[in-house]
Amino acid sequence: MEEAIVLYTIPAMGHLKPILELGKLILTHQPSLSIHIIIISASQTTTVSISSYISQVATTIPSIKVHHLPSTNHETKIFEVIRLSNSLLHQTLLSISKSYSINALIIDFFCVASLSVVAQLNIPAYFFYSACAGSLALTLYLPVIHQNNTTFKDRSAFLDVPGLPPIKLSDLPKPVLDRSGDVYESFLDVAVGLPKSSGIIINTFEFLESREVKAILDGLGLPKGNAISPIYCVGPLIETMNLTDGGHEIEYLTWLESQPSQSVIFLCFGSLGRFEKKQLREIAIGLERSGQRFLWVVRNPPSNNQILALSTEPEPDLDSLLPKGFVDRTRERGLVVKSWATQVAVLNHSSVGGFVTHCGWNSVLEAVCAGVPMVAWPLYAEQKINIELLVEEMKIALPIIGSENGFVTALEVEERVCELMGSEAGNAVREKANDMKNAAKAAVGEGGSSRGALSRFIEAWKKLLNF
């Protein structure tokens, strides 16, 4: 019977892309395997772009087979969707096992509720942690935080998490601060479930987060008496498939060809991040005043005051969103792209010398692999934790400083862009970013730490199955 590895994830680009890259990486080391991707279908998060991406992967790589769990028809939070899908997951795994011998199930950390299903079927279960090791250290420490803090009223207080710089309480992801919410309990479940798995695969490499990885391996953040599962840092896992966006790619990549080396700053805020009209105008004013060359991806403002974009939508009307005449006045040194750009291709272009990013971990790793320094502008999830690591630990980014409500002025945009592109501080960050690029390449190369971690992971599941 043909052998298979099953990967189970949620329909969000930040989770889907790296776990698919993990599947592709496993195939390069074990080409005889079949990779099965099981994806939760949740109507409030599934988009046309995600469906298109999945179809392209499945078509391009026949060894990767995609299974969609039917929608639960519940407009609820993703953790609850996972729980409600357990019976469907059980049926799908049984169906796969009729034709394949399942060697292991690798689950996204959001899918912690599926551990009970895996236990019933006696399949080795591994977590895939798509965020950074620093975020994992914080997650593992959550039971200790829970025990030591009965309330989170003083949001200005700092947490002392092993392996991390001091973390302000207000910088924690919002669900973690609401102890009365169901999502808080689910994150506690994740923290408790991670060490109980057969192992944890992290999308990072040891040199990038050496302090954080060591703290995890030493078990410094775990409750007393608990032991950590084996850790496998196999990153950086970044998108390698060349996807196009309906012709716009030709326009902005051709424009980049006409720009001097490392002269352009790229502004892009992930597949979900977006700004109110007032903030978009401040960014435009700051870019215009900076005098710097720029490539800026602009999305429509959020509807109903939601910062995240969860569905397809019309292209933004730049004339109504940006200051009057902005596009024409900056035409000689700037280009505004509507909605989306092939980020990996842009970051690896020789004319790009800086990146203003929301600090999503996929975007961070893409910048690291391209050797592009960053201006860090966190928006949601664990991104405020990431900025501390990028600025204070890795020293590959400069921070955007916003007001208490998150609003960033045109002056701040102007100053940070100019600082990154033309100052001693910017040059120091650029040099460090180039060092990290070389370290990332070494990690996945022959004899590298990430390649070794993948080999250990493969040997581990074989040992569990008594191969």
**What digits encode the pLDDT tens for the residues 110-141?**
999 999 999 999 999 999 999 999 999 999 99
**What digits encode the pLDDT tens for the residues 39-96?**
987 554 445 567 777 878 878 888 999 998 986 554 457 888 899 999 999 999 999 9
Tell me how far apart the alpha carbons of residues 191 and 288 are, in angstroms, rounded to a whole number: 45
Flag whether pLDDT at 389 surpasses 70: yes
pLDDT at position 455: 96
Is 461 within 8 Å of 233 (Cβ atoms)?
Answer: no
pTM of this structure: 0.94
Tokens of 212: 């954080």
Domains of the chain (ranges, CATH numbers): 2-239+445-464 (3.40.50.2000), 248-441 (3.40.50.2000)
Say which amino acid occupies 246.
Answer: G
**What digits encode the pLDDT tens for the residues 272-312?**
889 999 999 999 999 999 999 999 999 999 876 544 444 45
Tell me how far apart the alpha carbons of residues 426 and 419 are, in angstroms, rounded to a whole number: 6
**What digits encode the pLDDT tens for the residues 216-272?**
999 988 888 788 999 999 999 998 755 444 444 578 999 999 999 999 999 999 888
Tell me how far apart the alpha carbons of residues 259 and 188 are, in angstroms, rounded to a whole number: 49
